[in-house]
Structure 1
Amino acid sequence: MTAQSFVTIPPIPLPSRRGLVVTLLAGAILGFGFGLPGALTADGRFALVVSALAILGWVGTRLPESLVALGAVLALVLGGVLTEAQLFAALGAELIWLLLAAFVIAAVAKDAGLTERLVAPLLRRGMRLAPLVLALTLAIAATAFVLPSTSGRAALLLPLFSAIATALPDPRLKRPLALLFPTVILLSAGASLIGAGAHLLAAQAIRNATGLQLGYLDWAMLGLPFSLLASLIGAGLILLLFVPRDLLLTPIAPMQPAAHSPEQRRRQHRIGLVLAAVVGLWLTAEWHGIGMALTALGGALVLLTPPFGTRKPKETFRAVDVELLLYMTATVLIAQSMTQTGTDRWLAAHALSALPAHLAGHGLAVAVFLSVIAVMAHLAITSRSARAAVLIPALALPVAGLGHDPALMVLIAVMGTGFCQSMMASAKPVAIFGNAEDAGFTQNDLARLALPLAPAVTALLIGFALLVWPAQLAAMRGDAPQPHALAPASLPAQAVALTPPAAAAPHIAAARPQPRPKGLTTPVAPSRSTYVPARDLRRIEQRINRALRPAGLHVVIR
């Protein structure tokens, strides 16, 4: 009897349902992107397709976000949209140096026990979880008035998060805590004029279009109520969605500060003085002209010296998250490709053309339209400053030309950009806390939070646009006589001119003549648009460009 041998062929693995859906969506993106009308340049089409595929990779696959981002940037360079010089220059961007210095400062402060000492008074009485979340929300929101960058706030608050995370009684509470910090950092930024670089651009656009100059306190009166309510809504949703009910009122174990020697206490005081000096230089940057990154780098260099740090510098530098720095660089480059090809303005113009003519003069319809676009813009433009730089001239001011208050339209656009919690790449604070060593969260967690938070923030934005901000703006203007609103073409000569590439010039549609609208009408008196000396204009231009430098944007004021 002849022995027979059988060869076992392993079964061919079938693609999962998720993989099949992602593959079909990727094919649809490729077909749609390269089949668009000829109004968009070839580079613009390529940048749009790569950005859409990157979003699909972040949301629909389990690939690491940094791997997807770096792959997208490599495709943009090989496709000729970005140059090799731009790729390598992005590693020297101000944002990258700011984060590098912030990681060093945080490592030195944590090694000295300073962060635990700062958090201990908050946890000394054994506060329950819900009151602790409320206290943290208010404390994080307050930092928007003294720290002029969401990325800087995230980097400096990361050690505080790590200290609190170690004191939590249940490991399941670390994920909601990690979600709380970036959510409140981003939503509370709108409370302060220095909370984000986009606010400086918005304030200047409002001044050019209406003559209304919003100062530090004026902006706080407009933005604080909205930003605080949005932050509290975000904190409430995090408690509702991510904290088990039996842990909502769980008392946090009192955290007693560790016993430190007199020498270590003196070291903590010295580090605290350096941190206070860094924040003070940030707040007075308008006077001395030193940028945030250079200030932070100087502070990090001082803290690495023996009187402040006890470890060798190479040991401290191991705390720097290199993967996160590369990820940040890649997202900045993706946003830069959308800007320099004019694709972002092309998207904004098409969004404006989608507004039906018979609704263009209706206040509620315009508020809903602009709010939805502003909140969802982070899915296409991953930089907050870049979103404001696109939405204000390409959407908010053209909508104002239809008969609405330019100040109100700009305010809606810039406040809506504060929501960007849908993806890791949507905002730098989200990426910083999402990749935290102590806990972190996943893309699925962000999607679970964003689904109810996005409509809640949009509804809140619409409510303020209809019920609160019109009265506040009218009071700030002193109820001056109000003729028809200015159209974009009739703005004063000092208006902000965002310098787009030549291909992007025709992408801003002209305003259609409309009858006087029924709502949101606070037209502007031309007499308020007065002459501004050239010296003041140059100083304003320098401030805006310093704020927009991390996004790769440049503003020219004529």
Structure 2
Amino acid sequence: MMTRMERHSAKEHPIKLTINNPSKSVVIGSLHVLILIVIFMIDGINYQAKIALFAFLSAMIFWMATKIPAGFVALSLIVFIIIMNAGEADLLYQSLSEEVVWLMIGSFIIGEAVKESGLANRLTFSLLKNQNTKNNVLLGVCSVLFASAFLIPSTSGRAALSMPMIHQLSQKFAASEQRVLAIMTPVIILMSTSVTLIGAGSHLIGVGLLESTVDQSISYVQWLIWGVPFALVMTFLSFLIIKIFLWPIDGWQEIGHKKREEEGKPKEKINGKEKKTMILVSLLVVCWMTESIHGYDLAFITMVGAVLVMTPNMGIISWKQGIKSISWNLILFVAAATALGKVLVDTGVVNWMEKNMLSVLHLFNDAPDWFIVLMILTVTVTSHLYITSHTTRAIVFIPGFLLISETIGVNPSAVVFLSLIGMNYCVTLPVSSKALLLFYEDDNISYDARHLVKLSAILMPLYLMVIMVFYFTYWRWMGLQL
């Protein structure tokens, strides 16, 4: 019987082939030498900033060009920064204190409780009960995932909580269909992120920076008015494209006979564990939505929920079950990747980039709206390729775009909203989003990273086009204008 780690090791076996490829090794080594030379020729940043920039670019190369575990790459480069005296050892220790790390740990534990209580099985059965085709089942899954964006803050939280349901559903699908299901779930989660202000932590960070910098804001209701139609359109288009380009040609047959469905049918009456879980999740949702009233952040609320579901004799799962449910590989990656982004800010790399931008900003004073919007979107939509953390993208780019808006005299609220919507696109590589990485690293169902790249080649230009259309039509009619 293989352990979880052994199964994971077997899954990552192709890494050896990638590393032992002489031509690829030469290219990667040459790129590192070239980057190192260019960086150390740059004036205006100190030694620490140069090492941080080199480490960050090195991480991007390894994430995109090799199959080395993303967490190992990020952690190794944090250690490299410390060894090179470009950062203190606290950089490594404090990376585990990030809010998103604890938000994800709590989400994994709560997701396990949802599965163990039987709620995941009951929801799965309700989706299958009146559906005869896999097409209808997929539409049902997408509807549930879209609706979850109104209730659960954080894409990684939604991904972790949806995993028990997807595992249960996957049993009804063939292996080739399971791989597509593993792509579709995080993609739909990501495309529905723009629906609400609490859909991602980056939204809250961006609006907070808007308030503190220019004393403007975007309310929860205003975001709903702007965000819901756009998220609905992009979610539906993403579903159609996945169906057309990835789903197997013979994959639309009926799910199966009712007898087979009855096998997984839950008991008619909701048991005590299910009641506890429903009450707890409902309370968590209320607490998440009222953060501004009680003052406790999303991660702390989630961890309170995690502690409650593991409470001896009163909870839903045991301590051991909860700890085993956590994907520590993903947690370490998130912690280290967030630290890599943070060190760019701390060492002054971001400030240096912003100062260099100022010299060309005046060229955009008389630029038409379409050009400014396209410039913002080109930077933000592609930003996931070089800054993998959603939160870090907001921290890095929003201050710069606020600076641009004040310099060229455009509406800061519109700039922040467009920037955050652009940053929500992160469907290219497994490391581009924690939701994508969660399913990619899963031992039960996973997907081929090449399919994700092919999907992004279609979705990225489509995403840009839909935003442009929305800006010059619906959003302008609703008061969003530069």
Give me the TM-score of the superposition, normalised by structure 2. 0.86
2:3 match? none
1:96 Cα offset (Å): 2.2
Larger Rg: 1
How far residue 298 of structure 1 moved from its aligned partner, in angstroms, is: 2.4
Q: Runs of 5+ in structure 2 lacking a partner?
A: 1-18
Match of 1:487 in 2: none
Residue 147 (structure 1) aligned with residue 185 (structure 2)? no
Q: Which residue of 1 aligns with 2:179?
A: 175
Establish whether residue 252 from structure 1 lines up as the match of residue 258 from structure 2. Answer: no
- Tell me which amino acid in the other structure corresponds to 2:255: I
What is the deviation of 1:220? 0.9
Q: Residues 33 and 252 of structure 1: is their aligned pair in 2 closer, same or farther, counting only changes over 3 Å?
A: farther
**Which of 169, 194, 219 is the equivalent residue of 1:215?**
219
Partner Cα separation in structure 2 for residue 63 and residue 192 of structure 1: 35
Q: Distance in 2 between matches of 1:92 and 1:391?
A: 23
8 Å contact kept, 2:309–2:316: no
Secondary structure of residue in 2 paired with 1:401: helix
Question: Which residue is 2:375 aligned to?
Answer: 369
Aligned residue for 2:306? Answer: 300
The equivalent position to 2:478 in structure 1, one of 465, 472, 497, is 472
Alignment CA distance shift 1:278-1:410 (3 Å): closer
Q: Counterpart of 2:72?
A: 67
Alignment-derived partner of residue 96 in structure 1? 101
Deviations 1:416-458 (A, max 9, x none): 0101122333222122122122212243333222222222112
Deviation string for 1:352-373 (max 9, x for gaps)?
A: 7667937851222212111100
* Mapped pair 1:58 → 2:85: no
Gaps of 5+ in 1: 1-12, 475-519, 523-558
3-state SS of paired residue (1:80): coil
* 1:268-417 mapped onto 2 (5 Å cutoff): 268-307=274-313, 312-347=318-353, 350=356, 357=363, 361-399=367-405, 401-417=407-423
Q: Which residue does the alignment assign to 1:200?
A: 204
Is 1:30 the counterpart of 2:36? The answer is: yes
CA deviations over 1:461-500 (Å, ceiling 9, x no partner): 22223333233216xxxxxxxxxxxxxxxxxxxxxxxxxx
Deviation at 1:333, TM superposition (A): 1.0
Tell me, in whole angstroms, the C-alpha distance in 1 between the residues paired with 2:199 and 2:346. 26
Establish whether residue 425 from structure 1 lines up as the match of residue 428 from structure 2. Answer: no
Aligned-residue CA RMSD (Å): 2.9
CA drift at 1:270: 1.9
1:240 matches 2:240: no
- Per-residue CA distance 1:208-233 (angstroms, 9 max, x = gap): 78876532221111112222222223
Structure 1 residues 400, 457: closer, same or farther in 2, change over 3 A?
farther
Task: Report the equivalent of 1:527.
Answer: none
CA contact (8 A) 1:331 1:425 kept: no
Question: What is the TM-score of this pair, normalised by structure 1?
Answer: 0.75
Q: Does residue 1:116 correspond to 2:121, yes or no?
A: yes
Say whether the 8 Å CA contact 2:131–2:137 is kept in structure 1: no
Letter in 1 for 2:368: H
Preserved contact between residue 309 and residue 317 of structure 2 (Cα < 8 Å): no
Q: CA separation of 1:259/1:178 partners in 2, compared to 1, >3 Å: closer, same or farther?
A: closer
Q: Which piece of structure 1 moves more, 53-62 or 291-300?
A: 291-300
Distance 1:264 1:197 in 2: 34
Task: State the identity %.
Answer: 25
Residues 266-295 of structure 1: CA distance to partner in whole angstroms, max 9, x if unpaired?
A: 222222222222222222222222232332
Distance 2:289 2:364 in 1: 47
Task: Measure the CA separation in 1 of the matches of 2:262 and 2:36.
Answer: 57
- 1: CA distance, partners of 2:403 / 2:472: 18
Structure 2 residue identity aligned to 1:365: F
Whether the 8 Å contact between 1:115 and 1:159 is mirrored in structure 2 is yes
- 8 Å CA contact 1:154, 1:182 repeated in 2: yes
Q: Deviation digits for residues 34-89 of structure 1, max 9, x if unmatched?
A: 222x1223222211111111111111112122221221211122123332123112
How far does the alpha carbon of each residue in 1:316-348 deviate from its partner, in whole angstroms, 9 at most, with x for none? 422222222111111111111122123234445
Alpha carbons of structure 1 residues 439 and 56: separation in structure 2 relative to 1, 3 Å: same
Q: How many residues align?
A: 461
- Kindly indicate whether the alpha-carbon contact (under 8 Å) linking 2:402 and 2:416 is maintained by their aligned counterparts in 1: yes
Q: Partner of 1:439 in structure 2?
A: 445
Instruction: Go from structure 1 to structure 2 and tell me whether the alpha carbon gap of 1:211 and 1:22 turns closer, same or farther (over 3 Å shift).
Output: closer
How much does 1:205 deviate? Answer: 5.4
Partners of 2:395 and 2:20 lie apart in 1 by: 45
Question: Which of 129-138 and 74-83 deviates more?
Answer: 129-138
Residue 469 of structure 2 is aligned with which of 463, 469, 474? 463
Instruction: Decide whether the 8 Å contact of 2:226 with 2:475 is kept in 1.
Output: yes
